[in-house]
Every structure is written in structure tokens, then in C-alpha cells.
């Protein structure tokens, strides 16, 4: 892990002058240890401020705050809450995946400020992502959210929270009741993690070509496996040790899953997203693609159904046929998505 030394004020202003002249500027920021330069993003219509927040462990977490160039005074802000994997929210190489395409286009086309964070152990953030549990990650998101008010160009009264994948499910916990103009939950979930994973296992086994009989037998075992793992807080390795007949079922690490520790998912399972979303008083847009093989339609619908049960009409669905988890259709980013999101946000702002 390396932590960049940043240009002093004069050098930074000179660098931004070059960038505004339309030249592609890659900031060659080299660590004191002499490691490779850190590549930086470049936008046509926005400047990026690189900052830090700290969590209770004293770990410094890298934040990315963008400011639109063509707008003066205070501007609305989009707060991005990221996904499950240990991947950076910075995209110095451009639209390398659909999540990046969504964020980069919103940054350049919205005229709004935006805020992102790299979770512990990702990019320049301190810590070890593979060992960081959900609570430590959530703590980081909350610290970044609390820091927004220090940026004089951000209008905290015109704030949107956009959560992608795992981040969309728990995004209201980041705001902690603060006034928000709207939430966008994209390719996300609103049920228990246990329900999500049982459905995911059935889908995975089916895609792998297992027969219907084999799938049913495996799912019966997975129901018990995930109960011990998620609800009774055993690691997958401990579950397999106590039930050796399930050894062939497990396909991931003994201490975790998908590159995160077992505690991460146990803490997700402890969340009551029904309460989280029924307490939301701001408008909600739920984005889902029928080609999503990670989060199901039921995962997404749980959010809008929960919100509308308490406040009818407050949540709406934006469903795209054949769009996958990364917002692509036939391996191409779904271009109408960004204009649709911007239209929805501007409608929420009204004349303000």
C-alpha cells in the first residue's frame, strides 16, 4: 500500500490550469517509498479534490470530491455508495466497467458535485479490505458523509444518495436521518442477506448445469449451511468441519466469501433493511435490469414495496429489459440510464 505525496498549492494550481486548457493531465504522484506513480482521473467538466477521512481505527480513507467547472456558487451533490468487492471507486482509465461509466458520466454531465470513497485497504486507503468487516466500512461512509459540509461549494440541502449493488441496500444508514432529496438504489437489495444468498445459490447451480433434482438437494443443504454461517455466526470452514457431508458444497474460502471476511456477511444479515427503508421519507428510485444475475428482481422490488407500503407513491421502479448488474445491455452501457437519473433528480429539486 502506498500513500501519495501531493503537489503544493502553486504546483496544483498550475496543473489545473493545464487541465483546463484541454490537455490530458496524469498526475505523477509518487510515494516516499519510491513506488509507481498514482494515476488520476480527468474530466472535461469537473475538477477532482483528493482528500481523507479517518475511521475509529485511525485508518485514513481516500475520498474523491468533484466540483463542476461551469457552475458558480453552491451546487447539488451526488453521494455515491459503492459495492461489495475490494475495487476502487476511482476510474483513471475511463469507463472500464458499467459502474465506472455511470459515475463518470454523472460527474461530467450533471453539473453537480459528487463524493466517493475507497473503503479500507482499497486504493490509497489504509487497512486490509479482505479483513475489514461491514461495520468498519459503514463507519467510513458515515465519516465521509459528515465531511461534506466542509466544502463551501456543496449545497447540503440538495443532496442525493446513489447506492450501487450492495451499497444501494444500506445507503440510508450512511445518511443517518439527515435530510436527503432522494435515494437511488441501483442493482441492489432490500431483503435479508440470507434470502439473497439462497436465491443466488439456486441460480448459480442452475447456470452450472445441475439438474433440477441436484439443485433442490443442494439448496436444502445450503439453507442449513447459511443458517449456521450467517445467523449462528460460524465461519464457512467451521460449518464444513461440523458437517463434512457439505464439503463439496462450499466453493470459497474457509474464513469468508467473495474476498470479504465471514463477519462482513454476518453483519449484513443482522441488518433490518425493512426498518431501514420504511423509515425513509425521501423519494426513492429503484433501478433494476432483468438481465441481472447478481441481484434479483425480488431483491430490488423489496425496497420500493417497503417504501410504498408506508408512503404510497414515494418510490418508483426503473426497469430495463436485459440490462445486467453493471448496467450494460449486450455488453454495452445502457446510455439512457444517466439522462433518466438526471431527469429524476432535477424533478426532485424542482425550482430550487
Q: Which of 110, 111, 130, 108 is CA-nearest to residue 43?
A: 108
Task: Report the pLDDT value the prediction gives residue 315, as an integer from 0 to 100.
Answer: 98
Q: Percent of the chain beyond pLDDT 90? A: 87
3-state helix, strand, coil in the chain (%, to 5): 40, 20, 40
Q: Output DSSP code: residue 289.
A: E
- Give the tens place of pLDDT for each residue, 59-84: 999 999 999 998 889 999 999 999 99
Task: Report the pLDDT value the prediction gives residue 352, as an integer from 0 to 100.
Answer: 59
CA dihedral 62, 63, 68, 73 (to 10 degrees): -130
Task: Report the pLDDT value the prediction gives residue 17, as an integer from 0 to 100.
Answer: 34
Sequence-distant (6+) residues with CB within 8 A of 317 are 286, 288, 300, 301, 304
Task: Report the pLDDT value the prediction gives residue 19, as an integer from 0 to 100.
Answer: 35
Task: Report the pLDDT value the prediction gives residue 351, as an integer from 0 to 100.
Answer: 58
Using 50, 70 and 90 to split pLDDT, how confident is the model at 56?
confident
Domain 41-190+273-349: assigned CATH number: 3.40.50.1820
**Alpha-carbon gap, residue 189 to 329, rounded angstroms:** 20
Can you give the pTM of this predicted structure? 0.89
Sequence-distant (6+) residues with CB within 8 A of 284 are 182, 183, 184, 185, 277, 303, 304, 307, 314, 315, 316
Task: Report the pLDDT value the prediction gives residue 165, as an integer from 0 to 100.
Answer: 98
Radius of gyration of the chain (CA): 21
- Give the tens place of pLDDT for each residue, 6-29: 233 333 333 333 333 333 333 333
- Give the tens place of pLDDT for each residue, 314-352: 999 999 999 999 999 999 999 999 999 999 999 999 955
Sequence-distant (6+) residues with CB within 8 A of 23 are none
Q: Which of 83, 324, 293, 307 is CA-nearest to residue 190?
A: 307
Domains of the chain, by residue range, sit at: 1-38, 41-190+273-349, 193-269
- Give the tens place of pLDDT for each residue, 121-152: 999 999 999 999 999 999 999 999 999 999 99
Task: Report the pLDDT value the prediction gives residue 37, as an integer from 0 to 100.
Answer: 83
**Alpha-carbon gap, residue 100 to 93, rounded angstroms:** 10
Task: Report the pLDDT value the prediction gives residue 36, as an integer from 0 to 100.
Answer: 72
- Give the tens place of pLDDT for each residue, 199-256: 999 999 999 999 999 999 999 999 999 999 999 999 999 999 999 999 999 999 999 9
Would you say residue 170 has pLDDT above 60? yes
**CA 219, chain centre distance (Å):** 28
Sort residue 334 into left (φ over 0), alpha (ψ -120 to 50) or beta: beta
Amino acid at each position: 500500500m502506498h500513500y501519495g505525496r501531493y503537489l503544493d498549492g502553486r504546483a496544483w494550481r498550475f496543473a489545473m490550469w493545464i487541465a483546463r486548457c484541454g490537455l490530458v493531465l496524469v498526475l505523477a504522484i509518487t510515494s516516499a517509498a519510491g513506488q509507481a506513480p498514482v494515476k488520476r482521473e480527468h474530466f472535461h467538466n469537473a475538477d477532482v479534490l483528493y482528500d481523507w477521512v479517518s475511521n475509529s481505527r485511525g485508518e485514513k480513507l481516500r475520498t474523491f470530491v468533484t466540483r463542476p467547472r461551469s457552475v458558480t456558487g453552491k451546487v447539488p451533490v451526488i453521494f455515491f455508495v459503492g459495492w461489495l468487492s475490494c475495487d476502487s471507486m476511482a476510474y483513471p482509465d475511463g469507463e472500464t466497467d458499467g459502474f465506472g461509466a455511470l459515475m463518470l458520466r454523472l460527474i461530467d454531465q450533471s453539473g453537480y458535485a459528487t463524493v466517493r470513497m475507497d473503503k479500507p485497504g482499497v486504493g490509497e486507503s489504509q487497512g486490509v479490505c479482505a479483513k475489514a468487516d461491514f461495520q468498519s466500512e459503514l463507519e467510513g461512509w458515515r465519516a465521509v458523509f459528515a465531511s461534506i459540509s466542509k466544502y463551501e461549494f456543496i449545497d447540503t440541502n440538495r443532496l442525493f444518495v446513489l447506492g450501487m449493488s450492495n451499497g444501494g441496500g444500506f445507503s440510508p444508514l450512511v445518511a443517518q436521518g439527515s435530510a436527503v432529496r432522494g435515494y437511488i438504489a441501483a442493482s441492489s437489495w432490500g431483503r435479508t442477506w440470507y434470502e439473497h444468498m439462497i436465491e443466488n445459490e439456486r441460480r448459480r447451480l442452475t447456470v452450472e448445469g445441475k439438474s433440477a433434482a441436484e439443485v433442490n438437494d443442494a439448496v436444502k443443504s445450503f439453507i442449513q449451511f447459511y443458517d449456521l454461517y450467517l445467523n449462528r455466526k460460524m465461519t464457512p470452514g467451521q460449518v464444513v468441519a461440523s458437517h463434512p457431508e457439505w464439503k463439496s458444497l462450499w466453493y470459497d474460502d474457509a474464513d469468508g466469501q467473495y474476498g470479504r471476511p465471514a463477519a462482513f456477511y454476518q453483519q449484513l444479515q443482522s441488518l433490518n433493511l425493512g426498518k431501514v427503508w420504511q423509515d425513509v421519507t425521501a423519494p426513492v428510485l429503484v433501478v433494476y435490469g432483468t438481465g441481472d444475475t447478481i441481484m434479483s428482481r425480488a431483491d430490488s422490488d423489496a425496497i420500493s414495496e417497503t417504501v410504498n407500503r408506508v408512503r404510497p407513491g414515494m418510490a418508483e421502479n426503473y426497469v430495463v429489459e436485459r440490462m445486467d448488474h453493471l448496467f450494460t445491455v449486450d455488453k454495452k452501457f445502457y446510455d439512457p440510464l444517466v439522462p433518466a437519473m438526471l431527469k429524476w433528480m432535477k424533478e426532485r429539486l424542482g425550482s430550487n
